[in-house]
Amino acid sequence: MKVPVLLPKIFNFPLTYNNILQKKLKPGDFIEVPFGSRKEIGVVWNDIQPTNKKIKIKNINCKILNFSISKKLIQFINWFSLYNMVPKGMVLKMCLGNIKNLTKVEKENFTHEENKKKKYFLNEEQKTALRDLNTFGEKYNVSVLQGVTGSGKTLVYFERIKQVLNKQKQVLVLLPEIFLTNQFEERFSNFFGIKPAIWHSKITPKNKRKIWQGVVKNEVNLVIGARSSLFLPFKKLGLIIVDEEHDPSYKQDEGLTYNARDMAITRASIESVPIILVTSIPSLETFNHIKNKKYNHTKIFKRFENFPLPDTKIINLNFRKYKNSYITDETVDIVNQYLNKNEQILFFLNRRGYAPFLICKECGYKHSCSNCSIYLTYHKSIDKLICHHCGQKKIIDKKCSKTKGNCEFRMYGPGVEKIYEELKEKFPQKKIEIFSSDYLTKKKESKNIFDKIKKNEIDILVGTQMISKGFNFPKLNCIVVVDADFSGKGYDLRTTEKNIQLYNQLSGRAGRFSSQSIIIYQTVTPSNKTLKELIQKNPEKFLENELIIRKQNNLPPYQRLIAIVISSSIKELSLKGATEIKQKIQGIEDLEVLGPVDSPIFRLKNKYRTRLLLRSKNEIFIQKKLSKILDKIKISSKIKLTVDVDPINFT
């Protein structure tokens, strides 16, 4: 009997094998098959790939016992592959993870450590939101749980999770940032009395194996994870939660390109289970679906225990006394008022390192990355220049073309390390820590800083964007945005939307347990329209206006965009490849092809990059037609083609 078998490799179709085993095989079974001179583990698929070629069909070696995946997961992989235009085999690889998940059965199951539960009580708004979520039903539906920052949205969906777990079903909670999982794990343990299964790239292979095997056997009933947890082989999924649904971190830009939030909605649809999107300000796509009644919507208007949102103060940086100082005297005075009350301060700057770039004051030389078309960032902590795209490190060493001695570099623009240094001078007696990915590379390091914050052993935090995402700091009542930049970048159509969401999230970190809190915006553009809308605390008005602009310009969510990036180590080949691809696809009906143009970062990791931007109507599933043509094009081995469906940015 012929059986289709999908291998976790760059195949967009299953291979055909003969089943000579005594056992009957069904879709989802794991089997070992010969592949070339090696043995591989694959999955029995749902459809045989038709072919006119005469091929010698090999026999299946054996069935892998103990594990199988569901037909619904096969359906999800097929759809995911088609929508995102990526090979089915590579999606399967994401689902299987390490092959030892199948070949090395862990004797010890993943166990939920038990803790003492704390008692929590919902207020009236939270109870109403929970009732709404319950009335939306147990079958597939998309519900948006929206609430101001600090309103207790997490407690509401914890109660919803509890209901699903009591029915012996599995739950997946997606978080946009792995650093969130530590604090989230603690909150979960306090509520449920057990430690959940945590899934992200930093956990050990052994723990991943235990969780994977526990999920596929229906022994692990709740997983909290980053994007990749979406591919776990759940057998009895009952609910999916996407926290901070608006966060751009849900977009995977390397390897398989996809938006985890959107794919989670599809998986919920295929599994026929409800999905809850949680946010303080929804993404524009989600807001549009709410308006069109495609998504259910429930809203919490007040903060928990009615604490007010922070006051707002704008400080014009154009009038600061010292141009080499990034913290004004007025800011220092306000900060001291809060420090004197033994409260915590956050200085926010979304730039890692010490200085974004260095320029020799004599010859004008700037340190650039030899692999990428960007300037290197100086990190004083290691006294080196780093490329934040490819990771290249350099020491500051350059002969000046003008003086013939060493270049004398000036550092332009501040990073968190520079702000940290300035704060050390202004507040010498205070305990100051940096909160950024460069300083929190390990779970132990991040746990230590959370413990210090919780115990009020840190007076001042200096943080990048990751600090704005869902953290709960009880004593934090003053936030300073060091350089509130609303200018955006021309290649990102979502700049304004991201700014509104970022600064709204950020302000929500302050005053969660205080009647008096403040967010200070230091800026060179104090009259900026986006800043004014932030102060008015009326995000819906902004979202309405943004939708009008998008509609006028035929942009998402009213039209679909697909980016095709052609990269090569030879610049001419990149452009030539893009031109040839455009000629092949521009005949597709209802498809507009823009470009080719150089990517804004035209050289990345030693590859020159040329872009095509495709635009089509939402109701047309253009990926089918596009895939057929791209599959027929013979692409040179000297170029690489990357397809990004629904791009978030255009770098």
Q: Tokens for 92, please give them.
A: 């399967």
Indicate if 307-351+414-546 has the same CATH topology as 124-305: yes
Calculate mean pLDDT across residues 397-408. Answer: 86
CA gap 125, 147 in Å, rounded: 10
Calculate mean pLDDT across residues 132-142. Answer: 96
* pLDDT exceeds 80 at position 124: yes
CA gap 577, 531 in Å, rounded: 43
CA gap 83, 622 in Å, rounded: 9
CA gap 572, 610 in Å, rounded: 10
- SS3 at position 318: helix
Strand partners of residue 314: 521
- SS3 at position 39: strand
Q: Tokens for 465, please give them.
A: 């964007």
| Residue 10: partners with Cβ closer than 8 Å, 6 or more residues away | 87, 89, 90
- SS3 at position 355: strand
Q: Which of 559, 549, 469, 541 is nearest to 506 (CA)?
A: 469
Helix H, strand E, coil C: the string for 582-628 is: HHHHCCCCCCEEEEEEEEEEEEECCEEEEEEEEEEECCCCHHHHHHH
CATH code 3.40.50.300 for 307-351+414-546: yes
Calculate mean pLDDT across residues 73-94. Answer: 97
Q: Are 336 and 569 in contact (CB under 8 A)?
A: no
CATH of domain 124-305: 3.40.50.300
CA gap 210, 106 in Å, rounded: 6
Which CATH number applies to 559-645: 3.30.70.600, 3.20.20.70, 1.10.730.10, 3.40.50.300? 3.30.70.600
Domain boundaries, the chain: 2-103, 124-305, 307-351+414-546, 357-412, 559-645
pLDDT value for 442 = 54
Q: Which residue has the higher pLDDT, 119 or 626?
A: 626
Kindly indicate the confidence band of residue 62, based on its pLDDT and cuts at 50, 70 and 90. very high
pLDDT value for 487 = 64
CATH class of the domain comprising 2-103: alpha beta
Kindly indicate the confidence band of residue 491, based on its pLDDT and cuts at 50, 70 and 90. low
CA gap 568, 609 in Å, rounded: 7
Calculate mean pLDDT across residues 438-457. Answer: 72
* pLDDT exceeds 70 at position 264: yes
* pLDDT exceeds 80 at position 438: no
pLDDT value for 40 = 95
Q: Which residue has the higher pLDDT, 116 or 113?
A: 116
Q: Are 647 and 491 in contact (CB under 8 A)?
A: no
Q: What is the pTM of this model?
A: 0.93
- CA 46 vs CA 49, 50, 139, 407, 619: distances in Å: 10, 13, 25, 65, 27
Lowest-confidence pick of 317-321, 334-338, 462-466, 626-630: 317-321
* pLDDT exceeds 80 at position 566: yes
pLDDT value for 66 = 86
Kindly indicate the confidence band of residue 532, based on its pLDDT and cuts at 50, 70 and 90. confident
Range list of H helices, 435-537 = 443-454, 495-507, 529-535
Q: Are 62 and 21 in contact (CB under 8 A)?
A: yes
Q: Are 417 and 434 in contact (CB under 8 A)?
A: yes
Mean of pLDDT over the chain: 90
Task: Extract the runs of DSSP E, i.e. beta strands, from 194-323.
Answer: 197-199, 222-225, 237-242, 251-252, 258-259, 275-279, 296-300, 311-316
pLDDT value for 96 = 95
CA gap 271, 265 in Å, rounded: 10
Q: Give φ, ψ of 469 to 5 degrees.
A: -100, 80
For 291-314, write each residue's pLDDT tens digit. 999 999 999 999 887 888 889 999
Q: Which of 169, 215, 175 is nearest to 67 (CA)?
A: 215
Task: For residue 175, count CB atoms less than 10 angstroms from its CB and return exposed for 0-12, middle for 13-18, buried for 19 or more.
Answer: buried
Calculate mean pLDDT across residues 598-615. Answer: 95
Residues of 512-536 as b/e, b for ≥16 C-beta within 10 angstroms?
Answer: bbbeebbbbbbbebbebebbebbbe
